[in-house]
């Protein structure tokens, strides 16, 4: 056994940590994966991770405990955000670089074999990633973006025109539900005209994304007192930012797309429309003399 210097010891302990965490994560994912072949691949990867852990233990002599909280979070993530997103997060969380692996090759006989197996794992995982929801990202983006722009503008415009959270919520829900049905049917007809076989699913994903956005944006107006319309507007704008943040983070991880550019573009459009609509609402109230 080679005598470890401090640098190698830290690297090997970190690798042990990743391997033991990976064993529990992949083992759990295998239970819930679709298809027997996918289950088999994940179980094999989990077993390989455990063997890798045991290999490094021979050198460090240190038992590394799995990070239970991280494993729990990733398990929940898989249930809520999907298989693909979670696998990508696990892979991006591997903190040992190829350069560090190559540094160990020659010093520790298992290093090269483990490095090749890790590369094989990554390739096998990428081949598995064919989750249905990601096939309809375009439809979800359409529904989400349209709802954010239209509803943010509509509700912001109505806030000081009506000055009543209940009236604004009622108007927002009626507008939002009508727009959901309109958007979903338009997406269905568009997909059908393009000869897409899954036009109905495409329209459903569009409608769901739109409706969820409607619910979140009107929620502050439903929950706050009737006179707290200004607070409701502020909270709604924060919710808009959080929805855009969450959705773009999900897409950036699941589809390996840039995050910052997409986030600022989407946020800029939605907030600009809100400001313009808000000003229009004030002007309409003033010049038409409407007092609700």
Distance CA 21, CA 67 (A): 6
Spatial contact of 25 and 74, defined as CB atoms under 8 Å apart: yes
With 60 as the cut, is the pLDDT of residue 5 above it? yes
pLDDT tens track for 27-74: 888 887 777 877 888 888 888 888 888 888 888 888 889 888 988 888
Q: Looking at residue 124, what is its pLDDT?
A: 66
Spatial contact of 118 and 102, defined as CB atoms under 8 Å apart: no
With 70 as the cut, is the pLDDT of residue 1 above it? no
Residues 6+ apart with CB under 8 A from 68: none
Q: Which domains, from first to last, does the chain contain?
A: 6-130 (1.20.1260), 133-288 (no CATH)
Spatial contact of 150 and 187, defined as CB atoms under 8 Å apart: no
38-55 in b/e burial notation, b at 16+ Cβ within 10 A?
beebbbebbebbbebbeb
Q: Looking at residue 220, what is its pLDDT?
A: 92
pLDDT tens track for 6-16: 777 888 888 88
Q: How far is CA 141 from CA 57, 177, 178, in A?
A: 46, 18, 19
* 97 class by beta-carbon count within 10 Å (0-12 exposed, 13-18 middle, 19+ buried): exposed
With 60 as the cut, is the pLDDT of residue 290 above it? no
Q: Looking at residue 224, what is its pLDDT?
A: 92
Q: What backbone phi and psi angles, to 5 degrees, belong to 140?
A: -65, -40
Average pLDDT over residues 151-173: 84
Please name the residue that has the structure tokens 């989750």. Answer: 131
Distance CA 30, CA 40 (A): 7
Cα atoms found within 13 Å of the Cα of residue 252, Cβ hemisphere only? 13
Choice between 101 and 199, residue whose per-residue pLDDT is larger = 199
- Predicted confidence band of residue 99 (pLDDT cuts 50, 70, 90): low
Choice between 28 and 149, residue whose per-residue pLDDT is larger = 28
CA dihedral 220, 221, 223, 227 (to 10 degrees): 120
Average pLDDT, rounded, for the chain: 77
With 70 as the cut, is the pLDDT of residue 173 above it? yes
Q: Is the pTM of this model over 0.95?
A: no
Token pair, residue 57, equals: 């233990």
- Predicted confidence band of residue 137 (pLDDT cuts 50, 70, 90): low
With 80 as the cut, is the pLDDT of residue 21 above it? yes
**For the residues of 91-105, what is the DSSP string, one character each?**
HHT----HHHHHHHT
> Of 136, 274, 256, 108, whose CA–CA distance to 144 is shortest?
136
- Predicted confidence band of residue 122 (pLDDT cuts 50, 70, 90): low
């Amino acid at each position: 056994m080679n005598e470890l210097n401090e640098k190698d010891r830290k690297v090997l302990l970190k690798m042990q940590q990743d391997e033991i965490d990976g064993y529990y994560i992949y083992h759990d994912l295998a239970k819930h994966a679709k298809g027997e072949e996918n289950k088999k691949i994940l179980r094999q990867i989990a077993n390989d991770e455990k063997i890798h852990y045991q290999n490094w233990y021979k050198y460090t002599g240190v038992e590394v405990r799995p990070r239970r909280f991280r494993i729990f979070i990733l398990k929940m993530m898989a249930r809520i955000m999907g298989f693909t997103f979670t696998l990508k997060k696990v892979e991006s969380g591997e903190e040992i670089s190829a350069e560090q692996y190559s540094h160990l090759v020659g010093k520790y006989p298992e290093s090269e074999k483990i490095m090749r197996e890790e590369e094989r794992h990554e390739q096998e995982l990428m081949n598995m990633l064919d989750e249905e929801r990601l096939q309809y990202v375009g439809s979800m983006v359409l529904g989400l973006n349209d709802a954010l722009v239209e509803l943010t503008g509509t509700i912001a415009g109505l806030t000081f025109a009506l000055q009543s959270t209940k009236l604004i919520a009622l108007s927002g829900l009626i507008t939002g539900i009508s727009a959901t049905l309109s958007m979903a049917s338009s997406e269905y007809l568009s997909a059908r005209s393009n000869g897409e076989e899954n036009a109905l699913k495409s329209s459903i994903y569009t409608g769901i994304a739109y409706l969820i956005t409607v619910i979140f944006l009107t929620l502050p107006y439903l929950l706050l007192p009737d006179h707290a319309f200004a607070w409701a507007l502020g909270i709604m704008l924060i919710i808009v930012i959080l929805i855009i943040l969450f959705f773009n983070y999900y897409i950036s991880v699941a589809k390996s797309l840039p995050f910052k550019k997409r986030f600022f573009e989407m946020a800029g459009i939605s907030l600009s429309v809100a400001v313009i609509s808000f000003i229009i609402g004030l002007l309409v109230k003033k010049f038409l003399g409407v007092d609700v």
